[in-house]
Structure 1
Amino acid sequence: MRITYLTAGAAGMFCGSCMNDNAVARELINAGHDCVLMPVYTPIRTDVEDMSVDRVFLGGVNVYLSQKLGAFRLLPRWMTGWLDHPLLVKALTSKAGKTSPELLGQLTLSMLDGLAGRQRKEFEDLLSFLQTNVRPETILLTNLLIGGVIPQMATNADVWVMLQGDDIFLDSLSESDRREVIAKMRGLVGHVKGFLCHCSTYAHFMQELFAIPPQKMHVVPLGVATRDFIESQGEASSREKKTASEQPKIHLGYLARMAPEKGLHRLVDAFIELKRNPRWESLRLELAGWMGPQHAKYWKEQQNKLSRAGLDGQWNYAGTLDRNQKVRYLKSLDLFCVPTEYADPKGIFLLEAVAAGLPYVMPDHGAFPEVHQRLGRFRSQGFSGALFQHDSAKDLVTELELALEQSPHRSEASSELLEELEISTHAKRLLAVLQGKSNS
């Protein structure tokens, strides 16, 4: 099967959507399919081998300049194409500041206009590459926001769209722009073969938001790479090698972007509250994840809170981790928690924590309740986890304390659980939908 997968880069930061896109593309290629992963806006960043082509389409620099400068739009492609070089795009966008909602709204509207918008040259280049170089049977888009030329794509291929966070972006727009953007996105639905979501709750929400016919919506449970977790089974972390005289530490861990939307401040506050109880003297807070420059002040505020609580030396920030470091980090923890403020439609970090054998406490919104239910049948095999009321700081502390009272510790995930979580299982389910062999 010839599949082209368009994935949106995230300006140099780790992004769950592009990491999932990359992992799926790798599995499809390994299964013998002709899958081409094409990054748009910026190069993608992953913690494993990058499967994307060494080229950026709808490059962020060209897209921005085409939006802002009328004269730039008159330049021929041979004069502007060099601005799409991956290294240049990466360098110019990695330090970019926050875009104003007004510009963001107008840019989004223009992109959704496709060939009728200000980025006509960029879209023509994309369509030319698709029609001349890859000629796919199926085109899979990582979101609907990049779908301005779906009508043109659909003349030669089946177009599918993964919905995994479009609504979060829409909420950053002004109300008037948001309404207009949604109207344009709804206008593309008729040209799309089908839509894919990772959980039914989110699928129902997006179905209503974009007026998607029920028969076009499909739910494919998410998966993650578990092979390296299997390969490292039986390894003891340095923290597990304690002498008999040492009091065992309990490591409460977080692995996500160091950002407000991921709920880092919520976990810091809960940790401070728990440490007021002498019973949890041995509790440590372990933090890891990418932190952008826009969140430096936010991170400093969290550090100051911990210092004022007298908890210096009882927490650690491990920074941005590569794949091997991530596996070792997760296997050094005893309990996992990422108390997101938003309803995360994926929850990749939770699946990785479960693959590492970690018990968890997660919010009861987004994909987490369905993941929790989906994995419930493995509880007899040592799997454990709990949900807390997502808008209640008190309930977060309560559920963490209940988990701590059960002496949480990491255990090896069963082969059946790992198979359910495995990215190859997800890719097979996705492929079955694309080939019309699934009723999901």
Structure 2
Amino acid sequence: MKIAYITPGSGGTFYCQNCYRDDELLTSLLRLGHDVLKIPMYLPSNMGGTGGIQKSPVFYGAINVYLREKLPFYRQAPGWMEKIFDSQTLLQIAAKKSGSTRASGLEDMTMSMLQGEKGHQAEELEHLVRHLRDEVKPDVIHLSNALLLGLARRLKQETSATIVCSLQDENEWVDLMEEDYQQRVWDLMARRGEDVDLFITSSRYYADRCRETLRIPAEKLDIIPGGINCQGYEPSPLPFDPPAVGYMCRMSEYFGLGILFEAWMRLRKESRFRDVKLHLTGGYTGDDKKFVNGLLRRAEEENMHNDIRIWKDFSKPQRIQFLKSLTLLSVPVPEGEAFGAYQYEALAAGVPVVQPNVGCYPEFIEATSGGVLFEPNTPERLAEEMAVLLDDPDRVRGMAAAGRKVVLERF
């Protein structure tokens, strides 16, 4: 079967969970004998780990898409100019700019993209349609998230492919928009979703949320739990002298880094935990830099900065090494997530997780026995839960072994 997988790129500036999940999925499909083509949109996808998968040029290059939306006269720009702005070098530079990977300020462009053939990027859509129809000729076209639903109608009209769409944390983009736009975007996604043959998501939590929000008929929505290629992950020695708590996600206030940081500082104020280390990885965007620097300044003021280690390289080999340095991992996203790739990676490395009782986390911990839940999602409660676990190494080791076994066998 020939599968064309259309996915937004992050440019490789931070640990993009959806990029990681996409790469794992495509690698698995390739091993099963399918012909897989990865089609990046907006920015290059640089998470790595896609050996053997065919790659196309970037479509809907972020710079050209932005200029078409903001400058009406640019919609008539010559092709040579568009090619310059679609160059790998310029797109990598764009990825490092905060605005290219955040929703705030891009509300109109998001609406335009979802309008597909009626939007300001209709020319880019036809370019993609011709490429898939005339050159690729896929059996399946898989959209990696619902924010790409503006593509579905024309792709369905012009190809004989089955249209599949993954649902994965679209709310993380929409929730950051101006409030006046949020419901309009959900409504537009719901209408454009009528052109899709099948939706899939990885958790009951997100299936229930999207079934209602996007008005998806039950027969068009399947739950397929996430998975991971466990090759290379070795059990962490789970250090306790001293212990280390870790965070592996985009280093952002939105994803709960501030909650973990405050919890770690509270933990350190207890004499028996004064040596606990804080290890961080996942990268960040320009928008996050001020927030991250603020945390580091606070740690320095409290004379705790020497016990924070930031792993700047978050490629898969380095993530594996990072996880081997941890005793516990926590990514306390305030509203929870649909997938949480860091949970799978942590348990593959035998590192228990400490997560808030929101989103997909209860399902994952129930299925694996590889961690604990806490509520409410506050630094105080997280600090209390980590203290209980750090006082009980045998329990931590038991959860690590149980969770790793389940992930290796089932995910």
Query: With structure 2 as the length reference, what TM-score do the two structures score?
Result: 0.91
1:137-216 matches, cutoff 5 A:
137-155=139-157, 156-216=160-220
Is 1:264 the equivalent of 2:264?
no
Q: In 2, Cα distance between the equivalents of 1:205 and 1:108?
A: 21
Residues 135-171 of structure 1, C-alpha deviations (whole Å, 9 max, x = no match): 1111110112122131121232111111101122111
Deviation at 1:270, TM superposition (A): 1.0
Aligned position for 1:21: 22
8 Å CA contact retained: 2:40, 2:59: yes
Aligned position for 1:113: 115
Amino acid at match of 2:35: D
Greater shift in the superposed pair: 29-38 or 92-101? 92-101
8 Å CA contact retained: 2:2, 2:35: yes
Shift in alpha-carbon separation, 1:328–1:103, aligned structure 2, 3 A: closer
8 Å CA contact retained: 2:10, 2:95: no
Deviation at 1:416, TM superposition (A): 5.2
Is 1:46 the equivalent of 2:47?
yes
Shift in alpha-carbon separation, 1:389–1:152, aligned structure 2, 3 A: same
Aligned position for 1:7: 7
Is 1:254 the equivalent of 2:247?
yes
8 Å CA contact retained: 1:335, 1:409: no
* Secondary structure of 1:172 counterpart: coil
Q: In 2, Cα distance between the equivalents of 1:417 and 1:157?
A: 33
8 Å CA contact retained: 2:141, 2:161: yes
Shift in alpha-carbon separation, 1:120–1:418, aligned structure 2, 3 A: same
Deviation at 1:225, TM superposition (A): 2.1
1:405-416 matches, cutoff 5 A:
405-407=391-393, 408-409=396-397
Aligned position for 1:371: 364
Q: In 1, Cα distance between the equivalents of 2:379 and 2:241?
A: 27
Q: In 1, Cα distance between the equivalents of 2:218 and 2:276?
A: 48
Residues 22-80 of structure 1, C-alpha deviations (whole Å, 9 max, x = no match): 22111111211011110011111214346461410111111111112222212354552
Q: In 1, Cα distance between the equivalents of 2:10 and 2:354?
A: 28
Amino acid at match of 2:31: N
Aligned position for 1:434: none
Q: In 2, Cα distance between the equivalents of 1:254 and 1:28?
A: 30
Amino acid at match of 2:118: A
Deviation at 1:293, TM superposition (A): 2.7
Give structure 1 stretches of 5+ with no counterpart.
Answer: 241-246, 377-383, 422-440
8 Å CA contact retained: 1:77, 1:121: no
Q: In 1, Cα distance between the equivalents of 2:230 and 2:32?
A: 17
Q: In 1, Cα distance between the equivalents of 2:96 and 2:293?
A: 21
Deviation at 1:409, TM superposition (A): 4.8
Aligned position for 1:221: 225
Give structure 2 stretches of 5+ with no counterpart.
Answer: none
Q: 2:124 aligns with which of 114, 122, 125?
A: 122
Q: In 2, Cα distance between the equivalents of 1:309 and 1:334?
A: 23
Q: In 2, Cα distance between the equivalents of 1:32 and 1:224?
A: 18
Greater shift in the superposed pair: 396-405 or 69-78? 69-78
Amino acid at match of 1:323: K
Q: 1:397 aligns with which of 383, 391, 394?
A: 383
**Aligned CA-pair RMSD:** 2.3
Q: In 2, Cα distance between the equivalents of 1:352 and 1:398?
A: 24
* Secondary structure of 2:149 counterpart: coil
Question: When the two structures are aligned, how many residues end up with a matched partner?
Answer: 403
Deviation at 1:3, TM superposition (A): 1.0
Identical residues among aligned pairs (%)? 28
Residues 310-351 of structure 1, C-alpha deviations (whole Å, 9 max, x = no match): 323223222232222211221121111111223211110011
Q: In 1, Cα distance between the equivalents of 2:320 and 2:250?
A: 16
Q: In 1, Cα distance between the equivalents of 2:132 and 2:62?
A: 19
Q: In 2, Cα distance between the equivalents of 1:64 and 1:79?
A: 14
Query: With structure 1 as the length reference, what TM-score do the two structures score?
Result: 0.85
Q: In 2, Cα distance between the equivalents of 1:348 and 1:359?
A: 14
Shift in alpha-carbon separation, 1:78–1:284, aligned structure 2, 3 A: closer
